[in-house]
Structure 1
């Protein structure tokens, strides 16, 4: 009887072992093609591209094949434009305020293929985009290159159905050595003649014009003001020495209606200057820090805040920025810690 009992247990064990398989070797999910393009709170992917007038700058957008196992076949991933999603995004973000809409980047500023190849044994590839930027691309507009992974039964793959995986809304932000977000805690805007109650902002975004020029918006304005295009203050960085630590800035506007002025009541020119320095982080020895400080002083007239009236403002103070560069990363757009 005892032998029969052991025989029965052995038979059950054999059946159980026969039924088992290495389930971790099988695909547990669906293999779907997706962009790797993290979105911000506006639903777009911030895309930094070095401003290089007359030259081509390559940007590689990663494409992933999801799943628990490695892709086992060669695949050709098809990519196309997606203006419809961009239109929906604008409505969701800004309603009917079309002056604030994201605008689709014109074809003259980029070149891209129709497909990207993902080889067997790989689960990551890149979709190469070549940007050709110049001074004609006005950064007071919010330029976006809207992309989507195309799907067809003949393509031999599935596109991830989720919105921010199948689509990439690339918000293009060209950069030079001076552009970026500056701290504005020491930057004050006053009603002219009354410095008791300054208007302040926490930061000012500086946008690219060319290799040595940026622009900011006058006073406390930013890119989400409907009238922002009338208040661009251009800043050119020169090599003219002001003192041992600073060099001269040239500042101007392209709108004479705001009566931009850089002189005091006696007609004396205010000094516009900047300083730059760099150092290596004492703890993260691979991290280089570049410090930029701008000293600005100007007046302008607000011609749009109250229809039919002009309000005089005086702006003075400093804007400062620290740019951190990871020297271990070869690609410039990736090595800067934005």
Structure 2
């Protein structure tokens, strides 16, 4: 009898439990919040690569998403604006009082964007079309477009409170076929006449000037030097053939009168090779190799003292392209 009672009690509990269950997975498990999709790097900015076009505008689509476990059921018109305060805080945190190193706010003449974007009902994502025109931009200034999602007084949406989701610090970086990070361990830098004490840098970044031209910073300088604008080395990629593989490079400085810039090798050249990855047949690889040398004087590091440097060697860059992605700025593995 006792066993029958226990069995009856178990069955009753099971039936009661089943009757009280509902499909809780059909309910929203999280709060639906609006966010940018622009994750920052360790410096707090999101590198945004824009194809350089001399006579045309380029549209970059910045994603805006609605989080949650259930579909978005409303048309949500999201307001977007500049976030100058956060950029000011970011600059102070990264660079202290060294204002020459601060990220600059991208001037309005370089871009155009709508003030709102609508995420339709049934969709969890929309994009803000930002139209850039970067023909005459100077990359020695570090441009950032600081954006934030603004609150909606009507309560049509709620902004994600986390700072890396409600804000997008877009570090604008134009690119052409030759810009990017070059391996420079084989590019030697030394005081003229003293090759026993060579200097090298692991990488050097090439910045866009126009479709065929980039610039590096001379010697060991990089974007964190206060005097970087005085030491630009311009490199133009020409179509002039030197031999079956090599094409001529043109090298110059826009400050040669002060830094006494001289090209050391009139036969400066570059090569471009392409191949397809054997494991990923959709991945195209482009190899760019530069060979050149120059001399310059460092006249700003120590007042009253001019140090003459000589450089010579090669730089190399590998660019990987995922050809399954139609958008060029997205298919390059930066």
Q: Per the shorter chain, which TM-score range?
A: over 0.9
Measure, in 1, the Cα distance between the counterparts of 2:283 and 2:292: 29
2:156 matches 1:156: yes
Summarize deviations over 1:142-185 as a string: whole Å, max 9, x none: 10000001112314110000010000000001000110000001
Measure, in 1, the Cα distance between the counterparts of 2:227 and 2:172: 21
Summarize deviations over 1:189-238 as a string: whole Å, max 9, x none: 01000101101100000000001100000011111111111000011111
Coordinate RMSD, CA, aligned: 1.5
Q: Is the 8 A contact 1:291 1:322 kept in 2?
A: yes
Q: Is the 8 A contact 1:76 1:155 kept in 2?
A: no
Q: Report the secondary structure of 1:16's partner residue.
A: helix
Measure, in 1, the Cα distance between the counterparts of 2:108 and 2:117: 19
TM-score, normalised relative to structure 1: 0.94
2:276 matches 1:276: no
Match of 2:215 in 1: 215
Measure, in 2, the Cα distance between the counterparts of 1:9 and 1:251: 87
Q: Is the 8 A contact 1:54 1:133 kept in 2?
A: no
Match of 1:312 in 2: 308
Q: Is the 8 A contact 1:147 1:169 kept in 2?
A: yes
Measure, in 1, the Cα distance between the counterparts of 2:214 and 2:262: 18
Q: Is the 8 A contact 2:249 2:269 kept in 1?
A: yes
* Aligned-pair CA distance for 1:278: 1.0
User: What is the number of equivalent residue pairs in this alignment?
Assistant: 332
C-alpha spacing 1:246/1:6, structure 2 compared with 1 (3 Å): closer
Match of 1:257 in 2: 258
Match of 2:47 in 1: 46
TM-score, normalised relative to structure 2: 0.95
Q: Is the 8 A contact 2:277 2:283 kept in 1?
A: yes
Measure, in 1, the Cα distance between the counterparts of 2:13 and 2:196: 89
List alignment gaps of at least 5 residues for structure 2. Answer: none
List alignment gaps of at least 5 residues for structure 1. Answer: 264-268
Question: Structure 1 residues 104-113 or 7-16, which shifts more?
Answer: 7-16
Match of 1:266 in 2: none
Measure, in 1, the Cα distance between the counterparts of 2:155 and 2:295: 60
Match of 1:23 in 2: 24
Match of 2:172 in 1: 172
Measure, in 2, the Cα distance between the counterparts of 1:310 and 1:34: 52
Match of 2:247 in 1: 247
2:334 matches 1:334: no
Measure, in 1, the Cα distance between the counterparts of 2:279 and 2:299: 50
Summarize deviations over 1:117-153 as a string: whole Å, max 9, x none: 1111211111111111112x10001100000011123
Q: Is the 8 A contact 2:78 2:152 kept in 1?
A: no
Alignment of 1:285-324 (within 5 A): 285-324=281-320
Measure, in 2, the Cα distance between the counterparts of 1:44 and 1:224: 16
